[in-house]
Amino acid sequence: MVLNAENVRREYGDTVALDGVSLSVDRGTVFALIGPNGAGKTTLIRSLTGTTEYEGTVELLGAPPEQTDTQQIGLLPQSFAPPERLTARELIEYYGGLYDDARSPTAVLDDVGLTDAADTWYESLSGGQQRRVCVGIALVNDPELLVLDEPTTGIDPAGRRDLWRLLERLTDDGTTVVLTTHYMEEAEYLADTVGLLADGSLVATGPPQTLIEEYGGANRLEVELAKSVDPGEAERATEPIGTGVETADRTLTIRGVTPRAIGDVLDALDDAGVDYDALSWQQPDLESVYLTLTESSGSTDTATRANRMEEITTP
């Protein structure tokens, strides 16, 4: 086991940022922390890496974080602002110089897709390129444990997927990764274990598929009804097919519809003379789990909803 934490607590004045969090992470696996803004993710990352005080027990590579060899850990803090008047390459070289044994800057720049921008000042790089430099800095000492607080925020979709592939390669070679993210698809794709943090507590921990099966709910078919349609009529026509129906803003949702039953729904709508403009069928995913568990604990906030919109509109 690379990381083990027992009953970690952190208070800031009256604010309980972490309310007794326990978790463990095996070698060569990815643990993804998700949760609403203010849930305690950054505080947990900082506690686990010994960069803030905490109560409880943390063991990182067999020692408390304050005593762990920094050569073995790569840390990307959420807010990290390196000197702006250095180029990407100079920054990688500079941070590499802090370690006894550092990787070649050329290889690190290649890993994070910055070969062509290697000689550009940090301040002249785009936000996403700057974040890539920061990820590169975390990789420079070839760490056994990589701790990344929102590594892909601001990185475009293609660059995000490049980073996923890089992390997959690293974990295949035995690197352990702990990361936080607001992108549910990222957690679902990368994580062996997801921890959902809400109000300072881990409310669910497990492999993404297990969490989806447990908390994701049923498949659902959403039918956008034509303006002229009486929603009550559409509900009555489709009620016998799924496990439940409801209508909101002219969208009829029928839960528990298997792919094979989609035709039955359409036949029932046609038979009842119910007209519709569009339909979509959805399987539950990690976002369904997130929404179920955070809405039931009242933790979803506007920033998280804005983030969902970004994901939905991202091509």
Ligand X SMILES: Nc1ncnc2c1ncn2[C@@H]1O[C@H](COP(=O)(O)OP(=O)(O)OP(=O)(O)O)[C@@H](O)[C@H]1O
Q: What does the binding site for ligand X look like in residue numbers (CB under 6 A)?
A: 12, 15, 17, 35, 37-43, 78
Determine contact, residues 194/206, Cβ cutoff 8 Å. Answer: yes
- Residue 106 burial (CB count, 10 A): 12
If you write DSSP's letter for every residue of 65-96 in order, what string do you get?
Answer: GGGS-GGGEEEE-SS----TTSBHHHHHHHHH
If you write DSSP's letter for every residue of 269-312 in order, what string do you get?
Answer: HHHTT--EEEEEEE---HHHHHHHHHHHTT---HHHHHHHHHHH
Cβ distance to ligand X smaller for residue 205 or 253: 205
Provide, rounded to whole angstroms, the least separation between the CB of residue 306 and ligand X. Answer: 12
Provide, rounded to whole angstroms, the least separation between the CB of residue 123 and ligand X. Answer: 24
Cβ distance to ligand X smaller for residue 38 or 128: 38
Q: Is 265 exposed, middle or buried (0-12, 13-18, 19+ CB in 10 A)?
A: buried
Strand-pairing partners, residue 290, are none
Strand-pairing partners, residue 94, are none
Cβ distance to ligand X smaller for residue 40 or 143: 40
Cβ distance to ligand X smaller for residue 201 or 251: 201
Provide, rounded to whole angstroms, the least separation between the CB of residue 33 and ligand X. Answer: 8
Provide, rounded to whole angstroms, the least separation between the CB of residue 41 and ligand X. Answer: 4
Residue type, 191: A
Provide, rounded to whole angstroms, the least separation between the CB of residue 264 and ligand X. Answer: 42
Provide, rounded to whole angstroms, the least separation between the CB of residue 221 and ligand X. Answer: 33
Determine contact, residues 152/10, Cβ cutoff 8 Å. Answer: no
Cβ distance to ligand X smaller for residue 92 or 196: 196
Residue type, 130: Q
Cβ distance to ligand X smaller for residue 12 or 126: 12
- Residue 171 burial (CB count, 10 A): 18
